[in-house]
Each structure stands twice: as structure tokens, then as C-alpha cells.
Structure 1
Amino acid sequence: MLFQEPSNNSAATGNGLDPSQLLQNEIDLITQAYQVTVEFFTTYTFQLIGAVIIFIIGYILAGKIANAVLKLCQKHQLDITLSQFLSNTAKMLIVIMIAIVALAKLGISVTPFIAAIGAISLGAGLALQGLLSNYAAGFNIILIRPFVVGDTITVQGVTGVVKEVLLAYTIIADKDNVKITIPNKHIVGEILHNSKDDSLLDLTVGIAYKEDPISTITLLENVIENLDISGGTKATQIGIEAFGDSSIDIALRIWTPTEYLYENKFKAYKAIYLALQEANIEIPFPQRDVHLIQK
């Protein structure tokens, strides 16, 4: 019996199709794609050009409006952070509106996009609740301005000079010039102390009971006045604070620039010591008299 060897042409021609048929199929696909492309550009060319022109003009207009908002804020001397925020927000809103108009020009419905953006915004708001609360608090600080750059504030047990106010956080520098970052949500709604440019320098010196405290107070007033360490409009206060066991305690309350707090403190104590020494006013040390009773 004779057996005919099977032909391999079927495998080579792609599942039994003739090579010429395969070529014809590829040509038909290319022709169909070409026709769809031509039809799309024939139908939507003017809409596409119009949408691009609308977006470009709108983007340029958004930039000009943002610059105008920034100049207007600067003219009214608003905080630079608030001015930039309002400028960027105005530009972003205008660009979004122009994009919606451009999409509508192409016949694309923006309703599903708006719904999707709303859902995404809700999820992002829940996930970034802490961050968004910082931004909201920062906007509140910039708008209400309970303090500005250069003020000395105390909040959450931290004291320092305000160096920068951002939407998310505020940077202050303490007495050692260490920068501290405070999230704005921990500032808004809390008890805030603002002493503007100065901090209180509270000093105490004791003199012996044999000395005249009134003349000593006058001497110290002259010493502090000659040092010229007082800042702002708050007057220096010097007076008798207490009658201690071994001395009459004289207190000095001096408002001095926060930036030079420790420098002025050391300078004041040095000048006080030299003035008391020159005037022969005794600074007593603690002492106690002990009496022995013999029975």
C-alpha cells in the first residue's frame, strides 16, 4: 500500500490560508484603518483645531489673570504666601473651565469626568485628611494673620521667632536659632502667645538688708538705660520683688529683641555686677544663724 507524505504548506500558510489571502487581509486592515483616520480628521478637523485654539488662548488668558491677581494682592500688601495661593488658584480654575469648554467642542461629554473627579477627590480627602487640615489651617493663618514673619510666638509649649508661614506648616527659630517646624493644624484653635518682636528678660538680683533698695533701683535703671538693650514700646520695670531670708530681691523686667535674648541677658548681668561692685553695694550669700541653748 502506498502512503502519500502530508504536505507542510498548511502550517506555513497559517492554519490552511493561502499566502495571498493573508496578504489581502493585511491590506484590508490597513485600508480600513486609513479610511477611519481620514474620516475622523475629515469630520473633526475643525473641531480639533478649534479646541486646541480655545485651550491655548484660555491658558494664556489664565496666566495673565493670575499675574493680575498677584499684582492686586501685592498692591494691597497682602501676605506673599496668600497672594501666590490666590494667584495659582485663579489660574487653575480658569484652566479647568477652558479644558471643559475644549472637550465640549470635540463633542466629548465631561459629565463622567466630573463624576470621576468627585469620587477621586472624596477618596483622596479621606486618605489625606490630616494633610488637608494642615492646608486649611494654613489658609486660615494667612487670611486672619494672628502673627507674621518676625513675630515671637509661643504655641504648644514652643517659643520662637516666626521665619516662614506656609500652607502646610510654620517654621520658627528658638532662642538657640534651632528651626522648628509646626504643622498648622496644631496652631489654629490653640492658645497662642504673640509678643511681636521682643521677649521678656526677667532678671533678679539680691542686695544686703543694710543697703538702700531705692537708690539701688535708681542705679539699675541708669545701668539698663545705658546698655540700650530694650526693644519695642514696652517700658522696663525695676522694683522690689521680695524680702528674702538673706537679701532684698530686686526684679528687672526688660523687653528685649528675641534674636539677642541671651546675649542681652549676659550683658545685663555683667553690667549690674560691675555697677553694684563700683557702688560698694553688697550682694549677700545665703546664711543662717544657729543658736545653741544649753540646759
Structure 2
Amino acid sequence: MNDQLDTLTHVQREAIDLAVRFGPKVLVAIAIIVAGIYAGRWAGKAADRGFSSFHLEPPVRELLVRIVRVLVLALFTIMALQNLGVELLPLIAGLGVAGAGIALAMQGVLSNIVAGLTIIFTKPFRVGEYISIVGEEGRVENISLFSTVLSHPDLSQLVIPNRKIVGEILHNYGEIRQLDIAVSVAYDTDLDRALAVVNELLQAHPRTLKDPRPVVAVSTLAPFSITISVKPWVGVPDYIEARGEVNKAIVEAFRSRNIVIPLPQQEIRLLEEGGDRQPERTA
């Protein structure tokens, strides 16, 4: 019984001795870390205000602000460890070995980060532009270190890992797209009049852009008709609606001006013994 009391007394004395020797240092280290958190936030806000004058892209500015916060917090953490008497060189060596192992285990994540940095600094596309990449397309909504988010015309969202984007063929439409509409007219049509009608309705249409100038030209001489290519530019949000509206406007304008859109025709010959019948033409 006396041995247990002696052991308990010894433990209490050791605990009190450790508290007296290291307690103030631990409290000071905690205070330094807390101060580092607040200092990092303040430095991040100050850096954000400073970077705003350089008109940087939002992802770039956000990345730089995070780096400033991490650096400030890391500086205060080093100060806290030094206050505790921790040897930093062995700690740094151990962190290096652990970091190498973590890097091997997280190759996919790290490749996304590297690709994200490449996208952010080379700027192959920006937020708000319409792009087509890896078989998908949409309007760029957000660019982060790990992925790029596209909004699809069907109101869904596409999240593409950045490593799938870098190194692929990218089609960047920007903020406007070009419609590609083909309309056929009969061979006896006054082409100058038909082209003028199309140009007139494009100029009056609220969704089609006047600059760049729309392309309206004869593109194909088909067997039974002449094809007119109509290629106006529209804003990315108006692309789907504008296609249907322009098609409808062309049909109505041609009908009101008696410009014929011919139906496909085929010529069929019926052969009999003793001669040919007259050819029959079907639509």
C-alpha cells in the first residue's frame, strides 16, 4: 500500500515539475499559433486588396491569397516550435520523407494540382467562355486547382479533372458562337433577292450580332436546289434559342416573298418491253 502511495506521489511530483517547466512554453506556443491564424487572415485580406489592382483572374487571385495565408501561418508555427525547444532540422527531414510517401500515394491529386496551376497561369480559357474539351462542352463557371466546372446547355454541370484538360485539343469559343444554318431555294430564284432577305432579317433579329458581320452566301449547287449558308454570330447564352428563331424567321420571310424552298425530287423510269414509258417525277 505504501509503495502505491509512493508511486502516486512520484507521478504527481513529475507532473507538477513538467507543468512548471513546460506549461508556460505550451501556453505561449498556443498563443503564437492563434496569433498566426489571425495574422494569416489579415495578411490574406490585405493581399486580396493588393492583387485586385492587378486585374488578375479570380482563380489566380484566390490561389495567391491562400499561399500568403499558408506562409504566414507556417512562419508562426516555426516560432511556436522554437519556443517549445523542438529541433527543426530533424523535423524537416522527417517531413521530407513523409512528403515523398504522400506524393507517391496521391499522384492523381498532385497531377490535378499541377494541371490546375498550368491552366490558371497559361489561361487557355477564362471564366465565362464557352469551350469544348474531351468530348464535352459548356460555359466555364469555375476554375480551381483540382477541377474545372462547366455549365451545360441542358442546365446540368460538368466537373472535369484538370489533368484531363491539359494536353488535350481545346476548342475555345469565347463568349460568342456562330450558327451554321443551311436553307435551299429553287434554281429559278432571284439569288440576290434571297440573300438580301436573309441579311435583312438577320439585321433585325435581336439575338444575332451585327459585329462580327454575319456570313450569308451560296454554298452548294445541289441537284434540285441551291443551298444558301447562313452563319450569324450570337452570344453563348442565346445559341439554342437563336437557332430556332432564325430558322423560323427565314421560312416566314421566304413564304411572304414567294421564295420557294423546293422539296426533294426523284425521277423514276419504268421500263417495259416495246419501249420506255414517260418518266414519272415524284416529290
User: What is residue 223 of structure 1 aligned with on the other side?
Assistant: 201
Shift of 1:63: 2.2
User: What is residue 147 of structure 2 aligned with on the other side?
Assistant: 169
Q: What secondary structure, in the 3-state scheme, does the structure 1 residue paired with 2:174 have?
A: coil
Indicate how the Cα distance of structure 1 residues 179 and 41 shifts in structure 2: closer, same or farther if over 3 A, else same: closer
Shift of 1:218: 0.7
* Inter-partner Cα distance in structure 1 for 2:151 and 2:195: 34
Indicate how the Cα distance of structure 1 residues 279 and 27 shifts in structure 2: closer, same or farther if over 3 A, else same: same
Identify the match of residue 175 of structure 2 among 194, 197, 208: 197
1:43 partnered with 2:21: yes
Higher strand share: 2
Q: What secondary structure, in the 3-state scheme, does the structure 2 residue paired with 1:102 have?
A: helix
Q: TM-score, normalised by structure 1?
A: 0.85
Q: TM-score, normalised by structure 2?
A: 0.88
Q: Is the 8 A contact 1:163 1:172 kept in 2?
A: yes
Tell me the amino acid that sits aligned with residue 191 of structure 2.
Answer: P
1:281 partnered with 2:259: yes
User: What is residue 248 of structure 2 aligned with on the other side?
Assistant: 270
Shift of 1:82: 2.4
Indicate how the Cα distance of structure 1 residues 179 and 33 shifts in structure 2: closer, same or farther if over 3 A, else same: same
Tell me the amino acid that sits aligned with residue 133 of structure 1.
Answer: S
Aligned residues: 273
Deviations 1:234-272 (A, max 9, x none): 220000001100101100011112222221111111110
Gaps of at least 5 residues in structure 1 are: 1-21
Indicate how the Cα distance of structure 1 residues 84 and 98 shifts in structure 2: closer, same or farther if over 3 A, else same: same
CA RMSD of aligned residues (A): 2.1
Q: What secondary structure, in the 3-state scheme, does the structure 2 residue paired with 1:167 have?
A: coil
Q: What secondary structure, in the 3-state scheme, does the structure 1 residue paired with 2:234 have?
A: strand
Q: Is the 8 A contact 2:113 2:162 kept in 1?
A: yes
Identify the match of residue 52 of structure 2 among 74, 77, 85: 74
Q: Is the 8 A contact 1:239 1:251 kept in 2?
A: yes
Q: Is the 8 A contact 1:134 1:184 kept in 2?
A: yes
Q: Is the 8 A contact 1:171 1:180 kept in 2?
A: yes
User: What is residue 158 of structure 2 aligned with on the other side?
Assistant: 180
Q: How is 1:89-100 mapped onto 2 (pairs within 5 angstroms)?
A: 89-100=67-78
Indicate how the Cα distance of structure 1 residues 271 and 45 shifts in structure 2: closer, same or farther if over 3 A, else same: closer
Q: How is 1:124-139 mapped onto 2 (pairs within 5 angstroms)?
A: 124-139=102-117
Indicate how the Cα distance of structure 1 residues 42 and 289 shifts in structure 2: closer, same or farther if over 3 A, else same: closer
* Inter-partner Cα distance in structure 2 for 1:127 and 1:233: 52
Indicate how the Cα distance of structure 1 residues 106 and 292 shifts in structure 2: closer, same or farther if over 3 A, else same: closer
Query: Which is further off, 132-141 or 69-78?
Result: 69-78
Give percent identity, aligned residues only. Answer: 27
Q: Is the 8 A contact 2:203 2:210 kept in 1?
A: no
* Inter-partner Cα distance in structure 2 for 1:288 and 1:64: 78
Shift of 1:284: 0.8
Q: Is the 8 A contact 2:208 2:242 kept in 1?
A: no
* Inter-partner Cα distance in structure 1 for 2:155 and 2:250: 27
Q: Is the 8 A contact 2:130 2:137 kept in 1?
A: yes
Q: Is the 8 A contact 2:148 2:159 kept in 1?
A: yes
Query: Which structure has the greater CA radius of gyration?
Result: 1
* Inter-partner Cα distance in structure 2 for 1:286 and 1:54: 83
Q: What secondary structure, in the 3-state scheme, does the structure 1 residue paired with 2:169 have?
A: coil
1:27 partnered with 2:44: no
Gaps of at least 5 residues in structure 2 are: 277-283
